Amino acid sequence: MPPADATSAYVVKQVQRSWPEKQDSVAIDPASGEVMDVLRFADYPVLAKLTRWGIDLHTGILFGLANQIVLMLLTLSLILLIVWGYRMWWQRGRGSAFGRPIPRGAWQQVPPQILVPLLAGVAVLGYFLPLFGIPLAAFLAVDILLGEIAHRRGRRSYGAGTPSR
């Protein structure tokens, strides 16, 4: 980078984010061409190196195409687990499915000193992790809609007695 003024140095940076990382930089005096300072990635503190590697691993840069394929497979497996979890929630207690469903409205029995912090925590988590919050909100909206439809038809979709089919 060119210097900001006549008394500043040129900065030359080497940036290679694949393995092994090269993040070295050199400051050069523009008048004499003398190397004023050298900052090597090997001299970075351990936490700075771990941070750089963590970011590059998370973004799929660190090990190139192999890293990107692993991240894609991890993402697809997480999506599959989420969809599978939602399916299990809706299937519980129906037919031969395992598990007894919680009756609708059971949350009203939870003491406020537990319910309020729990709802606040879920709201904060959903705000800061929108890829968690948006599907959760959509799932709750569909579940509430299905419960309302069942209520208007005079059927109980959850609760004691025989499960609905």
How do residues 99-149 score in pLDDT, each as one tens digit? 676 777 777 788 999 989 998 998 999 899 998 888 888 888 888 888 888
Contact 49, 43 (CB under 8 A): no
As to burial, measured by CB atoms within 10 angstroms (0-12 exposed, 13-18 middle, 19+ buried), residue 62 is buried
State the pTM of this model.
0.54
- Please tell me the predicted confidence (pLDDT) of residue 26: 93
With contact defined as beta carbons under 8 Å apart, do 157 and 148 qualify?
A: no
Overall size of the chain counted in residues: 165
How far is CA 119 from its chain centroid?
A: 19
Percent of the chain with pLDDT over 70: 87
Using the structure block, give the residue that is written with the tokens 């936490």. Answer: 47
